[in-house]
C-alpha cells in the first residue's frame, strides 16, 4: 500500500505519484511488529511475522514492518519516542520516531504530519536531518524514519562550555545557514529553531558540523485556506525563548522568522545567555515584543567582541522583519565579514566560508 502525504489517499497499486495532486507516494507500513530472532537472521531466513501487543514507549527488540530492527530508545517527549534502529538487510542505521496513540488518532495532527512528511522528504542535505518515510502499521503504530544523526546537542555543548568560541560559532552558523537556505528555497520554514534542535556531529577530519533537526513544525509559506485551519488562530507553535516577535503575535511567517531565531541562537552561543531578561516565560515574550536586546558587548564585555559582530547580531534580531537580514546566508556572510573586520582569526574563518 502507498499513501499520498498531501491528500492522505491510499493506493493498492505500484504507482509512485498521486494521480490527484502529483505528490510522491509514501510506502504505507503493514502489520509486522515481530520479536527479534537472531538465529533466523544469521541463517539468512526472513523473520516470521508474529503479532505482538507492544507499547510505543517500549519498542526495543521489535522488527517494524519486517525491515527496521529496533535497538534502543534514544529520546522521548510528550508526543513521541525516538529509537535507534537498523535495516535488517543493509544494516544501515536510522532514527525511528514512534508517535503516541493520542497524537496518531488526532485527525488534524495527522493531516498536518502527512503534509509535512511530503515536504520533509525533499529536504535531503548534509546540514538537515530530514524525514525519509512516514509509515503506519495496521495495528495503529505511526512512525517516522529519519537518518540517525549522532553527536552532541548544541544546548548541551553551550551548557558544558559556558559559551562557544567565535570560530566555532561562525562555522556552526555557516552550516545552519546552508541547511536553512535549502528549506527556504523550497518555501519551507522551520519555525522552531532552538539549541535543542541542533546536533553537532563529527566529520572525518575531526571537526564538527551542525545539523538542523526536527522539521516537525515546518510550514510552507504559501498555503491554502484548508491548511491554515490546521493551525488554529491564537495557537502558537514553537519554543517561546527563541520565537520571533511576529511569531509571538500570530502574524504570517516567512524565512526571516528563522533568521531571527538563528541570530538569537548565535547570541546565546557566544555569551551563554539570552539577550532578553524576564522572570517568567510571559515576561520574556513581552520583552521581545517591546524591548531591544541587550548588546553583546554589554552582556559579556570581558570577551572583547567587535562592534561589527554586535551590529550583525542586533540587525538579525530586529523586531521589524524588513529591518533584518532577509536570508540565512546573508546573516552568515555578514557575521563572517564582521569577524574579519575585527581581525579575529581571519585565515581560519575564511576557510570556513571557502574564502
| Residues annotated as part of the active site | 192
Strands 80-87 and 133-136, bridge-based pairing: unpaired
User: Where are any strands of DSSP class E within the chain?
Assistant: 2-3, 10-11, 26-27, 34-35, 62-64, 68-76, 80-87, 93-99, 133-136, 142-147, 152-153, 188-189, 198-202, 208-212, 219-220
Q: DSSP code of 92?
A: -
The strand pairing partners of 27, in sequence order, are 2
Half-sphere exposure of 103 (CA within 13 A, CB side): 18
d(CA 317, CA 263): 6
Are 63 and 35 contacting, i.e. CB atoms less than 8 angstroms apart? Answer: yes
Amino acid at each position: 500500500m502507498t499513501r499520498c502525504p498531501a491528500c492522505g489517499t491510499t493506493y493498492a497499486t505500484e504507482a509512485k505519484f498521486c494521480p490527484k495532486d502529483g505528490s510522491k507516494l509514501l510506502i504505507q507500513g503493514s502489520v509486522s511488529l515481530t520479536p527479534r530472532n537472531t538465529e533466523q537472521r544469521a541463517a539468512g531466513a526472513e523473520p516470521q511475522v508474529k503479532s505482538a501487543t507492544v507499547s510505543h514507549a517500549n519498542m526495543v527488540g521489535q522488527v517494524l514492518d519486517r525491515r527496521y530492527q529496533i535497538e534502543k530508545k534514544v529520546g522521548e517527549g510528550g508526543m513521541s519516542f525516538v529509537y535507534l534502529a537498523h535495516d535488517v538487510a543493509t544494516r544501515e542505521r536510522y532514527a525511528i520516531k514512534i508517535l503516541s496513540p493520542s497524537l496518531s488518532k488526532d485527525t488534524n495532527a495527522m493531516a498536518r504530519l502527512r503534509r509535512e512528511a511530503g515536504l520533509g522528504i525533499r529536504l535531503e542535505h548534509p546540514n538537515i536531518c530530514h524525514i525519509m518515510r512516514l509509515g503506519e502499521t495496521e495495528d495503529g503504530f505511526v512512525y517516522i524514519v529519519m537518518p540517525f544523526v549522532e553527536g552532541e546537542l548544541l544546548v548541551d555543548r553551550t551548557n558544558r562550555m559556558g559559551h562557544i568560541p567565535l570560530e566555532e560559532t561562525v562555522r556552526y552558523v555557516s552550516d545552519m545557514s546552508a541547511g536553512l537556505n535549502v528549506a527556504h528555497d523550497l518555501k519551507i520554514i522551520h519555525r522552531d529553531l532552538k539549541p535543542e534542535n541542533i546536533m553537532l556531529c563529527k566529520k572525518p577530519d575531526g571537526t564538527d558540523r551542525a545539523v538542523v533537526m526536527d522539521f516537525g513544525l515546518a510550514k510552507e509559506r504559501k498555503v491554502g485556506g484548508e491548511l491554515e485551519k490546521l493551525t488554529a488562530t491564537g495557537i502558537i507553535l514553537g519554543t517561546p525563548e527563541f520565537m520571533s516577535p511576529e511569531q509571538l503575535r500570530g502574524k504570517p511567517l516567512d524565512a526571516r522568522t528563522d533568521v531571527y531565531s538563528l541570530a538569537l541562537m548565535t547570541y546565546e552561543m557566544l555569551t551563554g545567555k539570552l539577550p532578553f531578561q524576564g522572570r517568567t516565560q510571559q515576561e520574556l515574550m513581552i520583552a521581545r515584543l517591546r524591548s531591544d536586546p541587550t548588546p553583546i558587548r554589554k552582556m559579556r564585555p570581558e570577551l572583547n567582541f567587535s562592534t561589527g559582530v554586535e551590529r550583525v547580531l542586533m540587525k538579525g534580531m530586529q523586531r521589524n522583519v524588513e529591518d533584518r537580514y532577509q536570508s540565512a546566508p546573508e546573516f552568515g556572510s555578514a557575521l563572517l565579514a564582521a569577524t574579519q573586520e575585527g581581525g579575529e582569526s581571519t585565515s581560519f574563518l575564511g576557510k570556513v566560508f571557502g574564502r
